[in-house]
Structure 1
């Protein structure tokens, strides 16, 4: 099993002076230590569960562009892009630029978006849930078209593009991997079956994950998609350093279900020390799971 590092919080001691240094060093340790993914959130305001808008938050794609220059191997993505935050053609161009500048390490992680407060706070439209999913699906279709040989128009219910030109193209072929985040059984997992290369589920429990994967398998059967062609990943909420053996035992249960990567958020006040410890004490054993 692989490990992803999800850098969700910038609120560490003396963050006003050390935010960039900590982020940079955490990225370098992750890159050199064998972490597979490095992701940040796509929020303008920090989530209320992590302190809310008063806490620091960097814009996601600008951050990934910076991290491209300080890493060499690790895959870079948002976990996940909100479909309401950017026009789809511009999003495809942004992810393509990240892929070119990283020499083929970008991934499009995407979801329907949910954080109404930051939309209202910064004056960005926040449509009802049904419309957000409609816009998400059209965004996936537009990205797919822009990453193909078809540079013609796109006409949908929500978006109309006269030209889907994308030059230079992505380094990765046929395109950067597309990951859809979330566990919604009716719409989200259906979109995974139709459009995604990977899913990212909440690691609530092995039983819950098994159920979600069973739903995904049924959607794949419905649309004629090879279930095994979709990478299954999850985000966890545990600190593996608190109980390495217990963590690895839990990961064996998830791996048996088909989960091939777990993304974790650094615990404590020092993400560099935490990441160093995980790379030294957990990653070599996790790779054997």
Structure 2
């Protein structure tokens, strides 16, 4: 399915993005541990300050929960999707990320973005600048964090952030801590991905839409002299799987969470069906450059779907890429 020019593309990864839509931290721990035991390579947590089910529904703070999840796992990459630039200073976030990288023994992947929910900022008393300003802040914040992670003493003078002979020790364990940027803005967001990031996180959209955005990212990479294949490309997948369609329909939970239109993200279509149907849906995205397929999960934990995703969907897609057969 891949052509010869794509042989240097990174190997596929599969994972779980589990929303902390509960006050029970052990629920998230159990989901991450099960994903790891199934051989998935990635787990991540949501960093929104509220539940997608409403302002009064319980939802743990992702950045605070992440060290626990990192400490209770051993092999999966430990991600967060995505920390908004408005939530705290980039210097504080850089320190937190370096600490979590140590807790995880060098497994942190930091998702970062411009934030997008104005009402949440109003609730919490946070400033919410216009979109262009927030994107400018993202550019500066990424420079601040990279500088703090790499030099003994950091100086930075920007419009929004500044450092003055700032120390940071210890540095992250990883020589280059991977940063992911979430979003699909073709002019500014994808430019920032090409300039600063190691991964691009987005949702599963129609093939033509994804193709257009991937091409925009490639163009930005060429402008900055980067090989587009240096950047991992991740899509979030919403699915309820069963051995039969009837089995999946019987376990279909009420529509909630990322199935709805949320802030600045498109609708995530939910597939309710068999692993074969999900394989058919996802396989064309291999030729569009996707390297990471991540299943969305939330309480109550759907172990059946996760198991079928890991045991049937992942091996089949790896086979499409010549990386091995079904497991």
Larger mean Cα displacement after TM superposition, 233-242 or 103-112:
233-242
Alignment map for 1:35-184 (pairs within 5 Å): 35-47=40-52, 51-173=53-175, 175-184=176-185
1:37-64 CA distance string (max 9 Å, x none): 11111111113xxx21121211111111
Deviation at 1:186, TM superposition (A): 0.8
Residue segments in structure 1 that go unaligned for 5+ positions in a row: none
Question: Is contact 1:10–1:56 with CA below 8 Å preserved after alignment?
Answer: yes
1:66, 1:273 → 2: CA distance? 24
Residue equivalent to 1:6: 17
- Structure 1 runs (4+) deviating above 6 angstroms are none
Q: What secondary structure is seen at the aligned counterpart in 2 of 1:39?
A: strand
Q: What secondary structure is seen at the aligned counterpart in 1 of 2:172?
A: coil
**CA RMSD after TM alignment:** 1.8
Larger mean Cα displacement after TM superposition, 20-29 or 55-64:
20-29
Q: What secondary structure is seen at the aligned counterpart in 1 of 2:50?
A: coil
1:123-147 CA distance string (max 9 Å, x none): 1111111111111111100011011
**Which structure carries more helix by proportion?**
1
Change beyond 3 A, Cα 1:284–1:237:
same
Larger mean Cα displacement after TM superposition, 254-263 or 236-245:
236-245
1:66-100 CA distance string (max 9 Å, x none): 10121001111211111110100010111111111
Deviation at 1:267, TM superposition (A): 6.7
2:67, 2:114 → 1: CA distance? 23
User: Which structure is richer in relative contact order (CA contacts within 8 A, separation 6 or more)?
Assistant: 1
Q: What secondary structure is seen at the aligned counterpart in 2 of 1:152?
A: strand
1:135, 1:170 → 2: CA distance? 23
**Which structure carries more strand by proportion?**
2
Q: What secondary structure is seen at the aligned counterpart in 1 of 2:222?
A: helix
2:303, 2:123 → 1: CA distance? 32
1:183, 1:254 → 2: CA distance? 16
16, 19, 25: which one pairs with 2:30? 25
Normalized against structure 2, the TM-score is what?
A: 0.80
Residue equivalent to 2:297: 266
1:140, 1:268 → 2: CA distance? 33
Residue equivalent to 1:248: 279
Deviation at 1:268, TM superposition (A): 7.4
Change beyond 3 A, Cα 1:142–1:243:
same
Change beyond 3 A, Cα 1:69–1:150:
closer
1:238-266 CA distance string (max 9 Å, x none): 33542211211222210111101112212
Change beyond 3 A, Cα 1:264–1:89:
same
Q: What secondary structure is seen at the aligned counterpart in 1 of 2:291?
A: strand
Residue segments in structure 2 that go unaligned for 5+ positions in a row: 1-11, 243-272, 321-327
